[in-house]
Chains A and B, each alone.
Chain A
Amino acid sequence: MKANQVVFAETIEQIAAQDKDLYMVTSDSRGSGKLVNFGEIYPDQIVEIGIAEQNLVGVASGLASMNKKVFAVSPACFLTARSLEQVKNDVCYSNNKVVLVGISAGVSYGALGSTHHSLHDFAALRAINNISIVAPADAFETEHAVKAAIESKQPVYLRFGKKNMPNLGQEISADFKIGKARIIKEGSDVQIVATGETVWPSLEAAKLLKEEGISAEVISMHTIKPLDTSVLNWEVPIVTVEEHSIYGGLGEAVGSFLLQNNHCVPFKIIGIPDEETVSGSQNEIFEHYQICPIGIANEVKKLLR
């Protein structure tokens, strides 16, 4: 088991061995971005900005305009708030193909508190034109998302957490493509559509449900935008799960699609409610807000009643 951001760094190290145009731009964040090793192996391919996130994204944009493959790596809480205008104008509007990497995203920083949580990033970036938003669930998705981001014709936001993530298995869906959801487990009674680090507890919830005779399908909706609506099954109730505010994220994106296409199904968004987030570790915060196997299973059963 490895944290997605560790897999990110390992993948980048491999690619940099063959690609001298690959650059990591960091804001005193190479430690949390697991890029200390990268900096030692490829000192000419890491650009240190210091703690200045606006400049981080501006410099990354300029580098990208000079045909460099640029990753701007910074805690998601700062990257998608402090430098949001640079993301909107310098990256997205100017179409400088920077890969923005939000590390220690969601409530990864746990007890460090709300200053360090990013529960707004999907919402903020969904409303900005010309960016893909990708939250990989495990090592497989992370490695492929990093490679796909380099090849992408538009800017990409990659969102990674700190927690060690089990492999979800690739028995059903071995393909990875930005904008193409993966079916992790098939099922016929309910669909659980999750993203990032919440896919694993959703899969565990499906196991609990199976014991009660409920067949739950689990989708890894690793790409929040563009959203793969082709995978949604509106013949059954749908539950969405995300490490994000219940406002403006995966759930509302799915709900908006369903409602605007006259698919009226029992529907529930599991995420962080609009309140001052409870203090605690990431796991404790997850359990408090039902982003855990039992919590998700309970919400599914409520919908099925």
Chain B
Amino acid sequence: MNISELKERSKQYRIDTLKTIYEAKAGHTGGCLSIVDILNVLYNHVLRGTWEDVSRDRYIQSKGHAVEALYVVLADKGFFPKEELATLGKYKSRLIGHPTKKVPGMEQNTGGLGHGLPICCGTALGAKKSRLDTKVYTVLGDGEMAEGSNWEAMMFASHNKLDNLCAVLDYNKLQITGLNADVMNLEPLRQKIESFGWEVREVNGHDVGALVNAFDQLPFVEGKPSFIIAHTIKGKGVSFMEHNKKWHHGVPTEEELSIALKELEEDES
């Protein structure tokens, strides 16, 4: 998929995500809009191998609560019918509010924060032990970087030279209570990650071209795990949702949805 096709796809994913959340009357709107370009590039450019292929690349979403965007992408990739998105959060639906393996295409059940990276470490190590050319990807939320388990895993990944592992931080700088900087300061983040033995690149997490370019360079350094700090905007693409913690799990009204969809459809960036 070329860059302009990817951009079109991002637009469609945003629209479908908002419609899905509106229909379910629940969802993590802001985080979905910040993660969606990363998911788009992962699923339409980066990840290799069919589901049946044991050596397929693995994507395990640590930021589990941004699952609505992931469901939209998985439906688009044909893992399940798009109509099923309308069942999100409904009684006995397999589409629940955090990733579950009941949904085709999902590698692991996640949602407790600070769980994805340790699992990815084991998966990446397992791939190496089996001499598979599998690459393992995760997306982390910035709030969950306060979880100690992430830093346990960071140490493990570099110690074991897991250069088939790439972690992406959806760094929108906002968590449910407010700014990361006020809740629990992460900075200087790049230096922290580098000091744990990872190779780091920083990109605009909404620039699909920049994301493609970063992923194409993996591993950044042979023998080291790779970390992409993707600078993003919570609520990206909808003016009244951007940079606003209210939309962490805010659900749009009918009127807000129609304004948001209009903005997204008219967006030519």
The residues of A with any CB-CB pair to B shorter than 8 Å are 23, 44, 47, 49-50, 52, 54-55, 57-68, 85-86, 89-90, 93-96
- B129 contacts partner chain A, Cβ-Cβ < 8 Å: yes
Contact present for A60 and B114 (CB under 8 Å):
no
Contact present for A55 and B129 (CB under 8 Å):
no
**Residue among B122, B130, B156 with the most chain A CB within 10 A?**
B122
Contact present for A58 and B122 (CB under 8 Å):
yes
Contact present for A58 and B126 (CB under 8 Å):
no
Min CB distance B11 to A, Å, is 33
- B115 contacts partner chain A, Cβ-Cβ < 8 Å: yes
Q: A49-B156, A54-B149 are in contact. Are A62 and B110 (CB under 8 A)?
A: no
Contact present for B127 and A89 (CB under 8 Å):
no
Residues in chain A near residue B3, CB distance under 8 A: none
Q: A54-B114, A54-B149, A68-B129 are in contact. Are A63 and B155 (CB under 8 A)?
A: no
B122-150 vs A, CB cutoff 8 Å, 1 = contact: the mask equals: 11111101101000000000000000110
Once bound together, how far apart are the Cα atoms of A68 and B107, in whole Å? Answer: 16
Once bound together, how far apart are the Cα atoms of A47 and B125, in whole Å? Answer: 9
- B120 contacts partner chain A, Cβ-Cβ < 8 Å: yes
Contact present for A89 and B109 (CB under 8 Å):
yes
Residues in chain B near residue A60, CB distance under 8 A: 122
Contact present for A63 and B126 (CB under 8 Å):
yes
Q: B108 contacts which of A49, A52, A63, A65 (Cβ < 8 Å)? A: A65
- B118 contacts partner chain A, Cβ-Cβ < 8 Å: yes
Chain B contacts with A in 142-175, Cβ cutoff 8 A: 148-149, 152-153, 155-156
Say what secondary structure dominates the interface of chain B: helix
- B119 contacts partner chain A, Cβ-Cβ < 8 Å: yes
Q: B153 contacts which of A55, A66, A94 (Cβ < 8 Å)? A: A55
Q: A62 contacts which of B114, B123, B155 (Cβ < 8 Å)? A: B123
The residues of B with any CB-CB pair to A shorter than 8 Å are 54, 101, 107-112, 114-115, 117-127, 129-130, 132, 148-149, 152-153, 155-156
Contact present for B126 and A68 (CB under 8 Å):
yes
Q: B115 contacts which of A49, A66, A86 (Cβ < 8 Å)? A: A86
Q: A63-B125, A66-B126, A89-B109 are in contact. Are A52 and B115 (CB under 8 A)?
A: no
**Residue among B101, B111, B156 with the most chain A CB within 10 A?**
B156
Residues in chain B near residue A86, CB distance under 8 A: 115, 118, 149
6 A-B residue contacts at CB 8 Å?
A: A50-B152, A61-B118, A61-B119, A62-B122, A63-B122, A86-B149
Min CB distance B124 to A, Å, is 7
Contact present for A90 and B108 (CB under 8 Å):
yes
Q: A85-B112, A89-B109 are in contact. Are A62 and B119 (CB under 8 A)?
A: yes
**Residue among B107, B125, B155 with the most chain A CB within 10 A?**
B125
Min CB distance A33 to B, Å, is 18
Residues in chain A near residue B123, CB distance under 8 A: 62-63, 65-66
Q: A66-B126, A66-B130, A67-B54 are in contact. Are A58 and B119 (CB under 8 A)?
A: yes
- CB closest chain-B residue, reference A98: B122
Residues in chain A near residue B108, CB distance under 8 A: 61, 65, 90, 94, 96
Once bound together, how far apart are the Cα atoms of A68 and B127, in whole Å? Answer: 10
Once bound together, how far apart are the Cα atoms of A44 and B128, in whole Å? Answer: 11
Residues in chain B near residue A96, CB distance under 8 A: 108
Contact present for B148 and A61 (CB under 8 Å):
no
Residues in chain A near residue B127, CB distance under 8 A: 66
Contact present for A50 and B155 (CB under 8 Å):
yes
Once bound together, how far apart are the Cα atoms of A44 and B130, in whole Å? Answer: 11
Residues in chain B near residue A52, CB distance under 8 A: 149, 152, 155-156
- CB closest chain-B residue, reference A45: B129
Min CB distance B154 to A, Å, is 9
Once bound together, how far apart are the Cα atoms of A95 and B107, in whole Å? Answer: 11
In the complex, besides A52-B152, A55-B121, A62-B122, 19 extra interface pairs with C-beta distance below 8 angstroms are: A23-B129, A44-B129, A49-B152, A50-B156, A54-B149, A57-B118, A58-B115, A58-B149, A59-B119, A59-B121, A62-B118, A62-B120, A63-B125, A65-B119, A66-B132, A67-B126, A90-B118, A93-B109, A96-B108
Q: Which 3 A-B pairs have the closest CB atoms?
A: A62-B122, A58-B118, A66-B126
Contact present for A54 and B119 (CB under 8 Å):
no
Min CB distance A58 to B, Å, is 2
Residues in chain B near residue A23, CB distance under 8 A: 129
Once bound together, how far apart are the Cα atoms of A120 and B245, in whole Å? Answer: 39
Contact present for A58 and B121 (CB under 8 Å):
yes
Once bound together, how far apart are the Cα atoms of A60 and B115, in whole Å? Answer: 12
Residues in chain B near residue A55, CB distance under 8 A: 118, 121, 149, 152-153, 156
Contact present for A62 and B121 (CB under 8 Å):
yes
